[in-house]
Chain A
Amino acid sequence: MKNCKYLFAFVVSLFCLNNLVAHPMPNSLVLLNIYDEKVKIELQLPVQEFELACGKNLQNINQQYIKDNQSDLVNYILLHTKIYSNQNDYWALSVSNIRYDSLQSELNGVYKELIFEITCLPRTKANLRQFTLQYDAIIHQVVTHFAIIKVNQDFNNGIVPSEPAEIGTIQLDIESNTVKPFSINLDEGSRWHGFTKMISLGMHHIKVGIDHLMFLLVILLIAPIIVSDGQWSGFGGIKYASVRVIKIVTAFTIGHSLTLLLISLFPIPNFSQSIEIAIAITILISAIHAIIPIFPDKETVITFIFGLIHGSAFASTLFNLNIGISLKLLTVLGFNLGIELMQIIFILSFLPIIFLSKFSIYKYVRIIGAILAIIASLAWILERLLNHENVISSFLNHLVQ
């Protein structure tokens, strides 16, 4: 997930129908990552404004420039970033990484930023969630600049990088002409709290995952019916239907749980676009199968394989989680539990339709449902290939709002 301010500027500029630079001045982002023994801050500073503040020409900034000027850059950041628990307990800050990033946008041109990672350790035993941030990088000179502060990650409070919590802004206090210290007070939270948050994250994720739900719907459409002469036929009986539903759901669950775990622990870069297209294809294939049986009696295996694909997409929510293995496992466990819970709710509410299969009207329900799913999946394939919404995909994406 790219930084939110870029996304904001991009979305905002979508309102301007011609090629325009977005109006709002680029601001800095201060992302707080709260761990058990330290806080890690990620600063994202627009080069355009950073240039004005440090008085250097950064037109040709690149990774080499950073290497050559590392100590200057580190000194600048440490001069303008301080943390204390009380006036006598200033934390030990060290810059652990500096990198340069540029985002190409047809609307914005090139947006360049400098990213600093700062490790912050309290000197004495301090509450890691209650401290004061004395920060005025860029703002000390460019007094119209401001920084948005977000909690990017805090397991004990259930905050993950895909949904950071904005907690405020640092800017010039015009009346006093100073930049005031920014006090942070987060809830203590707890492991249990974090775990339950992961569960609700998982539940929410699949609740709004209209493509995942559509896949389940379509594949279950044919669960209660039998094949006869190469065509879908009538209700196969309560036992038959129940067994098939259970097998399919279990196969999907095992499949997506496996890849959710694996990919969360070992993320694959630049993966998400391919996975999103693959998911749309799983819907397409299942929808065709619902009209004409293309893999009769193999639904369990196919669903397992498709489940692997869906699970990889779930994992993208948990990317960028820079935490230890045990905590990551707890996250994945909670998230998966949430997905399963919502999945059960969804299937239970969907069951009445399946039992409609006893009646002859079901044939039309099945075929119409499958056709709608084919249209939806094609729209999504197109959208995800071109990286651009179309009328149908836009309608579908807005259904969950």
Chain B
Amino acid sequence: MNKIRKTLGLVLLLILVQQKLAACPGTNGSVAKIVCLADSLKATLTTDQIATLELPYSYANSQVWSNLPVTMQARIGIKLGTLSASQLAIAKLIVKEISGTTPNEGYDEAEQLLLADAYLSANGGGTAYGNGQYYLCFNGTPSLLGLFSVKFGGHHLQVENTYNNGVMVGGTPHFEAIEPLTFTSGTNTYSTITQEKNALAAMFTTLSTAELASAKLSATFTDILMGAKNSGTSKDWTFPATKQGLKVGTLTSVQKNLVLDAIKTYVMDIDDDNAAAIIKQYTQELDETYISFSGNSTLETKNDYARIDGPGVWIEFTVQGGIVISGVHYHSIWRDHTRDYGGAGSTAGVQKTAVGSNNSTGIKEINTVKNLKCYPNPSVEHLNVQFSLNHSSSVRVTLFDILGKAVLNKEYQEMEMGDQTMLIDLSNLEGGSYQLVVETDKNKYTTKIIKQ
């Protein structure tokens, strides 16, 4: 009797919640509706939970995502496993709102990926996996005109939608991966991401021998190129300057449609209206898009790889060895040359127009030094200073204390173009805050160092 009462109560609660939310106005995927749903969710959370869920907007926050299990690479936001049933229901509605409705894509695919993780957990993966190990994050407060991103992800999934000025300005990087290739959950059998693999492989099946030779890359890929940062360097905004492979503009219209079909399996993951706009843009850019592969174009053997590289679209697909379960498994990513993170981190900066519309290309700054990195920071003994010079130049590295006095000064008459690294000894310095200045013939870069 008690059990029935409890279940009835829960059902009633969920119905009430749904009704309340049905009151959220706006078209599907609109910022108005997202904001409304976000507010509904926050209304059910404690202050601490809200502080975990919603963070002040930063590009750095946007960049926190990974392909790895959450126990190996921390995520930001609130963990689904910590939410009550009603809170979880609203959280799922938010993910649904920002995702597409096509079967096996969008929200359906996200749900399948969570089920896959539950499967991994039960079949050798243990507690590092599971559908509770996914995080929802508002990077910035969702508002009608402000800048914010909705992040949803965990192991093998990252949804990264950025909104600004009342519109969606970015729906990428969008990462998806699956292990095992096929699994059962309840009475259903799923082959998630097989749609993407089939569509990509299909691009190559009707190509001539000469065309296949053009499309084939000689390099070997054991992973996607532009994946998560994890413990290495960030791959954001490092798109190849020259496109490799076979130009789609040289193909027949049937073959071009196959490329478009493959692209759609990724773009349809975000809400239908914005997806349609992006697909329209990518269709216009199809002739300038390149397709390529490495290993076998059938994409079934370990180290097989496929890529679509257009003026806008960037898709990678790779076949890797099994981790929890033997066999192979897929990793894949969809990025955009101007719209990753809505543009944050690029020289052009965050876009103000909706995805699929004309993108503003900023003026390329002439930066002599790239990727200035200092670690460890705080430092105890040695400080590693790394940067990349885009032309050979004289370089001066100075360390100033908080009084502005130069406590360390190194001059190099001629440093070569390329990666530079130097190890600076800090052991004789007092503890505290310092300013490290790297000066080239054209620019000056400053960063703060702490000596412990």
Which B residues are in CB contact (< 8 Å) with A143? 219-221, 225
Q: Does chain B have a CB within 8 A of A4?
A: no
Q: In whole Å, how far is B234's beta carbon from the nearest beta carbon of chain A?
A: 11
Docked Cα-Cα span, A177 to B127, in Å, equals: 39
Q: What total of chain A residues lie within 8 Å of the partner, measured CB to CB?
A: 49
Q: Given contacts A16-B126, A157-B425, A185-B420, are A141 and B220 in contact (CB under 8 A)? A: yes
Partner of B419, one of A53, A175, A181: A181
In the docked arrangement, what's the CA distance between A193 and B303, Å? Answer: 48
A15 close to chain B: CB less than 8 A: yes
Q: A142-B219, A144-B225, A174-B235 are in contact. Are A18 and B419 (CB under 8 A)?
A: no
Q: Which residues of B contact A52 (CB under 8 A)?
A: 220, 222, 303
Q: Which of A16, A25, A176, A186 has its CB near the most chain B CB atoms (within 10 A)? A: A16
B423 touches A151 (CB 8 A): yes
Task: Specify which of B72, B244, B384 is in contact with A12 (CB 8 Å cutoff).
Answer: B72
B 267-307 binary contact with A (CB < 8 Å = 1; else 0): 00000000000000000000000000000000000010000
CB distance from B145 to the nearest CB of A (A): 34
Give Cα A193–Cα B240 distance, bound, in whole angstroms.
Answer: 44
- Cβ–Cβ contact B220 & A200, under 8 A: no
Quote the shortest CB–CB distance from A286 to chain B (angstroms): 33
Interface status of B71 (Cβ within 8 A of chain A): yes
Chain B residues in 8 Å Cβ range of A174: 225-226, 235, 238-240
Contact A175/B126 with A165-B384, A168-B421 known, Cβ cut-off 8 Å: no
**Chain B residues bordering chain A, tally (CB within 8 A):** 48
The yes or no answer to A166 lying at the interface (CB within 8 A) is yes
> A183 contacts B415, CB within 8 Å?
yes
Q: Is the CB of A16 within 8 A of B128?
A: yes
Is B416 in contact with A183, judged by CB distance below 8 angstroms?
Answer: yes
State A49–B219 Cα separation when bound (angstroms): 13
- Contact mask for chain B residues 318-337; partner A; CB cutoff 8 A; 1 contact, 0 none: 00000110000000000000
A-contact bits for B65-108, CB 8 A (1 contact / 0 none): 00111011000000000000000000000000000000000000
Q: Which residue of A lies closest to B123 (CB)?
A: A18
Picked from B124, B126, B418, the residue with its CB within 8 Å of the CB of A182 is B418
Determine whether A292 belongs to the interface, using a CB cutoff of 8 Å to chain B: no
**Can you name the residue of chain B whose Cβ is closest to the Cβ of A197?**
B427
Once the chains bind, are A177 and B240 in contact (CB under 8 Å)?
A: yes
Question: A23-B72, A171-B233 in contact; A15/B241 too (CB < 8 A)?
Answer: no
A184 touches B232 (CB 8 A): no
| A142→B125 contact, CB < 8 A | no
Asked whether any CB of chain A lies closer than 8 Å to the CB of B452, the reply is no
> A189 to chain B: which residues have CB within 8 Å?
425
Distance in Å from the Cβ of B66 to the closest Cβ of chain A?
10
Is B230 part of the binding interface, using a Cβ–Cβ cutoff of 8 Å? yes
A173 vs B127: C-alpha distance when bound (angstroms): 36
Do A168 and B384 contact each other (CB < 8 Å), given the known contacts A15-B72, A183-B415, A183-B421? yes
Contacts of A185 in B (CB 8 A): 412, 420-423
For residue A148, which residue of chain B has the nearest CB?
B232
Q: How far is the CA of A184 from the CA of B412 in the complex (A)?
A: 12
Q: How far is the CA of A17 from the CA of B427 in the complex (A)?
A: 40
A31 to B3, CA, bound (A): 64
CB A253 to nearest CB in B, in angstroms, measures 26
- Asked if residues B220 and A15 are in contact (CB atoms below 8 Å), the reply is no
Are A25 and B222 closer than 8 Å at their CB atoms?
yes
Contact B233 A187 (CB under 8 A): no
Are the CB atoms of B324 and A20 closer together than 8 Å? yes
Tell me whether B388 and A180 are in contact (CB under 8 A).
Answer: yes
Contact call A146/B232, Cβ cutoff below 8 A: yes
Chain B residue nearest to A143 (CB atoms) is B219
Q: Which 6 A-B pairs have the closest CB atoms?
A: A18-B126, A185-B422, A174-B238, A17-B126, A180-B418, A143-B219
Task: Enumerate chain B interface residues (CB-CB to A < 8 A).
Answer: 67-69, 71-72, 124-128, 219-226, 230-233, 235, 238-242, 244, 303, 323-324, 382, 384, 386, 388, 412, 415-416, 418-425, 427
* Residues in chain A within 8 A of chain B (CB atoms): 12, 15-21, 23-25, 49, 52-53, 132, 141-146, 149, 151, 157, 165-177, 180-187, 189, 193, 197, 200
Given A144-B221, A171-B232, A174-B240, 14 additional A-B pairs, CB 8 A:
A16-B128, A19-B124, A24-B230, A157-B423, A165-B382, A169-B233, A172-B225, A174-B239, A175-B238, A175-B239, A181-B419, A183-B416, A184-B421, A193-B425
